[in-house]
């Protein structure tokens, strides 16, 4: 197989499920050797080296990145995709939950990328891509903590891009809309009528359907590829136009 990422090594956090699994598959198709870092690697595609680690724990992350470096001898691409949700307005979650979600969704990116930096500095094609969300640019109702965390992912993406520009490390993000993943499946499964809830969710999307994880993966594959060599500190919306619709109607 030959492709845009031939010879490069990529790590995908949260790569055992949903959007992360689609990203891992796409980067592999494009020629990269792929390592998955996930706290639950039981569902990981057997084609990829899987490293069990919790991105909210620095020692766990450091050990996993060291193991990736030892196995492949290089690391060129970091996809910070793992994340968790939270529902409700600002009163819905206690301080421990705020700390837990921010530690995974935001500080997790800093932990993983910090551990990877010595490898990225050695790479001729270093790129980082963070999975933010439509929540980064629009206020999602009843998702205060999650929205705050994803807004921070966007800000952190720009900060990292600025800090590591001169080292040749590009940092970008994708902002998915509601995507067809096990996460959304779990939310629908908790509804009294999952099929009706799914139909209502699809009808709310501007293009009448959920975003496919493969569509998000295609945007990530572009952003981490040498073809995007002049692109850093920005994001691609993969949401069927939902953010534009929301922003226009405000």
The least distance separating ligand NAD from the CB of residue 250, rounded to whole angstroms, comes to 19
Under rule CB under 6 A, how many of the chain's residues touch ligand NAD? 27
Measured distance CA(98)–CA(168) in Å, rounded = 34
Catalytic residue, from 51, 119, 146, 235: name it. Answer: 146
* Residue 116 burial (C-beta neighbours within 10 Å; 0-12, 13-18, 19+): buried
Task: Report in angstroms how near the CB of residue 100 gets to ligand NAD at its nearest.
Answer: 9
Going by C-beta distance under 8 Å and a sequence separation of 6 or more, which residues neighbour residue 225? 4, 5, 30, 127
Least separation in angstroms between CB 118 and ligand NAD: 21
| Subset of 45-104 contacting ligand NAD (CB under 6 A) | 54-56, 81-84, 104
Q: Tell me: does residue 184 bind ligand NAD (CB under 6 A).
A: yes
Q: Residue 125 or 242: which CB sits closer to ligand NAD?
A: 242
Whether 146 sits among the annotated catalytic residues: the reply is yes
Reported residue count of the chain is: 250
**Residue among 94, 219, 218, 108 at smallest CA distance from 153:** 108
Per rule CB under 6 A, is residue 113 in the interface with ligand NAD?
no
Residues that bind ligand NAD (CB under 6 A): 13-14, 16-20, 38-40, 54-56, 81-84, 104, 131, 133, 176, 178-179, 181-184
Return the active site residues.
146
């Amino acid at each position: 197989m030959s492709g845009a990422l031939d010879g490069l090594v990529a790590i995908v956090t949260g790569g055992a499920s949903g959007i992360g699994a689609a990203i891992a598959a796409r980067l592999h198709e494009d020629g990269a050797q792929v390592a998955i870092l996930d706290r639950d690697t039981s569902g990981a595609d057997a084609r990829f080296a899987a490293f069990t680690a919790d991105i909210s724990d620095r020692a766990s992350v450091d050990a996993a990145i060291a193991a990736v470096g030892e196995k492949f001898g290089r690391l060129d691409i970091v996809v910070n995709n793992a994340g968790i949700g939270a529902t409700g307005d600002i009163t819905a979650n206690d301080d421990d939950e705020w700390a837990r979600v921010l530690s995974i969704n935001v500080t997790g990116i800093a932990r993983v990328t910090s551990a990877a930096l010595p490898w990225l500095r050695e790479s001729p094609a270093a790129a980082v891509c963070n999975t933010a969300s439509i929540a980064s640019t629009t206020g999602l109702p009843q998702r205060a903590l999650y929205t705050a965390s994803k807004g921070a992912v966007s800000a952190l993406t720009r900060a990292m891009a600025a800090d590591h520009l001169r080292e040749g490390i590009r940092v970008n993000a994708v902002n998915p809309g509601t995507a067809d993943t096990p996460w959304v499946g779990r939310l629908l499964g908790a509804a009294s009528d999952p099929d009706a809830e799914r139909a209502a969710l699809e009808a709310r999307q501007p293009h009448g359907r959920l975003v496919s994880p493969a569509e998000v993966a295609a945007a990530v594959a572009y952003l981490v590829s040498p073809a995007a060599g002049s692109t850093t500190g920005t994001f691609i919306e993969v949401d069927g136009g939902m953010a534009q619709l929301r922003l226009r109607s405000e």
